[in-house]
Amino acid sequence: MTTQIGMLLFPDLTQLDLTGPFELFCELPDSKVHLLWKDTKPVYADSGLGLLPTTALGDAPQLDLLFIPGGWGQMRLMRDEEILGFLRRHGEKARYVTSVCTGALLLGAAGLLRGYRAATHWAFMELLPLVGATPVDERIVVDRNRITAGGVTAGIDFGLHILAELAGADFAQRAQLQLEYDPAPPFRSGHPRVADPALVAAARRDLADTVEKRRASLPKIMASGHT
Amino acid sequence: MTTQIGMLLFPDLTQLDLTGPFELFCELPDSKVHLLWKDTKPVYADSGLGLLPTTALGDAPQLDLLFIPGGWGQMRLMRDEEILGFLRRHGEKARYVTSVCTGALLLGAAGLLRGYRAATHWAFMELLPLVGATPVDERIVVDRNRITAGGVTAGIDFGLHILAELAGADFAQRAQLQLEYDPAPPFRSGHPRVADPALVAAARRDLADTVEKRRASLPKIMASGHT
């Protein structure tokens, strides 16, 4: 049986949320990775990178693993019944329902994190309760079949976790060696708990508008009855 | 003055070699990132990901930073005069000449690493002398204006290094925080120096054919007079 993996693309996604785990998922034996969007025309990331979907939503097989990346563009999808319906339909039956970064908020808007512990990008953690999830300040959070990861580069750790889950620890370690994932960040600034507080304050100010817009709209989305 | 950054795409590249640093380069102020190929039709990575070039080689401005990712497909480019000529032309004038993973071998085939210390994917380090470079077993190697990085995920550390170089350490630290790059690999297996020796031996066996083919062809390419 082929493991069907579906990764949602959308305009203004953060491409590294997706391309990190994608590189790892593609290593899995007996599996097929679908890059999903409404059609198969190019989708442009928030950074301008043009990516080609492989599979239109309507052509997707029942997914064993559903994956949602983050990015500014997801706010538009939270009122899009085609997308929410797709996520709910596959999310209810999938063996794993997963996200990286703010992808968790879209999963939540589809009702798929209600009553679950979850992670998201550090700057958006406080919004998780608005979709019924309990924020957990960890890089990867596993609650039953929901596996959610922190911001952007957490997707690589997440991808290795999924490989270990689906193909075993030896397989995941081999993939880690192939990708030379022996990280050596030049700074210790990758999370508020280790970064300079002044830097964190400045980054929070940069993101404040985005966070506030979501804080205002998420309760309306959740109350709209769609979920 | 806009900093012109050129990242080479090619069929069967390893997309994460490129998409990691791309996410970071796009943060740079006063800069433009070009995804370069012979034309602007989709280019498919070794994993099947379809990426859209932004700029045909002939339309590229003089580049300030030239970047080459790795991937199986680069062997074909080593005998491609259009590509080698492009790399030489821009490499001679660029402020920075850079690569991630086996991209160093293509830089080398264009004659751009002769007499330089360099890094590449751990499994291909022993081939660097064939292009006139001195292998250095470090994740990022800086020798004058050549900046070369190790395999695949080294591109993220490399990207942060470039951000610090071009926009300052504070800027790079902020980007690291935004991308939540506080890595927590689930295993210690990302480099032969830390991985289980049996795992390393198995990975070397997997790659032996590829390494040997390159070992056989690189001297011919270098002797062909193109470089």
- Distance between CA atoms of B91 and A69, rounded to whole angstroms? 35
How many Å apart are CA A185 and CA A188, to the nearest integer?
Answer: 7
Per residue in B156-210, pLDDT (tens digit) is: 999 999 999 999 999 999 999 999 999 999 999 999 999 999 999 999 999 999 9
- Per-residue pLDDT, B12: 98
- Contact call for residues A94 and A64 (beta carbons, < 8 A): yes
Alpha-carbon gap: A150 to the closest alpha carbon of chain B (Å): 7
> In terms of CA atoms, which chain B residue is nearest residue A140?
B184
Is A150 at the interface with chain B, CB within 8 A?
Answer: yes
Residue A48 pLDDT grade (very low, low, confident, very high; cuts 50, 70, 90):
very high
B227 CB near a chain A CB, below 8 Å?
no
Mean pLDDT of the A156-165 span: 98
Concatenate the DSSP letters of all residues of A48-79 into one string: --EEE-SEEGGGPPPPSEEEE---TTHHHHTT
CB contact A227 to B (< 8 Å): no
Task: Find the CB nearest A180 among B23, B154, B202.
Answer: B154
A26 touching chain B per CB within 8 A: yes
- Interface list for B 129-148 with A (CB within 8 A): 139-140
**Predicted complex ipTM:** 0.95
* A157: confidence class by pLDDT, cuts 50, 70, 90: very high
How far lies A99's CA from each of A38, A105, A165, in Å?
19, 9, 15
Write the DSSP string, A41-52: S-EE-TT--EEE
Residue A195 DSSP symbol: S
What does pLDDT average to over chain A? 96
Beta-carbon separation of B47 and A54 below 8 A: no
Write down the pLDDT at residue A1: 87
Per-residue pLDDT averaged across A21-50, rounded?
97
Structure tokens at A204: 């929070």
B20, closest residue in chain A (CA to CA) = A16
- The C-alpha atoms of residue A104 and residue A98 are separated, in whole angstroms, by 8
Q: Nearest C-alpha of chain B: how many angstroms from A206?
A: 10
pLDDT at B102: 97
Contacts of A47 in chain B (CB under 8 A): 22-23, 26
Q: Could you read off the pLDDT of A83-93 as tens digits, one per residue? A: 999 999 999 99
Give dist(CA A151, CA B177) in Å, integer: 9
Q: What is the mean pLDDT of residues B14-29?
A: 97
The pairing of strands B43-44 and A140-143 is unpaired
Put the strands of the sheet holding A146-149 in their side by side order: A55-56, A31-37, A3-8, A65-68, A96-100, A146-149, A140-143
Considering B101, B119, B142, B154, which one is annotated as catalytic?
B101
Nearest neighbour of B47 by CB, restricted to A14, A23, A183? A23
Q: Are B181 and A153 in contact (CB under 8 A)?
A: yes
Residues of A belonging to the active site: 101
Segment B138-146 mean pLDDT: 98
User: pLDDT at position A42, please?
Assistant: 98
d(CA B8, nearest CA chain A) in Å:
13
Q: What's the distance, CA B223 to chain centroid?
A: 23
Q: A157 and B187 in contact by Cβ < 8 A?
A: no
Encode B126-135: b = buried (16+ Cβ within 10 Å), e = exposed.
ebbebbbbeb
This prediction's pTM? 0.96
Tell whether A102 lies on the interface with B, counting CB pairs under 8 A: no
Residue A172 contacts B, CB cutoff 8 Å? yes
Record the tokens describing residue B226, joined without a space.
């193109």
User: What's the pLDDT score for residue B1?
Assistant: 87
pLDDT tens sequence across A183-194: 999 999 999 999
Shortest CB distance from A52 goes to which of B42, B170, B203? B42
Q: Which burial class, exposed, middle or buried, applies to B29 when counting CB atoms under 10 A from its CB (0-12, 13-18, 19+)? A: exposed
Decide: helix, strand or coil at residue B196: coil
Q: Per residue in B42-67, pLDDT tens?
A: 999 999 999 999 999 999 999 999 99
Closest to A55 (Cα-Cα) out of B50, B178, B113: B50
Does A169 sit within 8 Å of B179, measured CB to CB?
no
Q: B65-68 and B3-8: which strand pairing?
A: parallel
pLDDT for position B189: 96
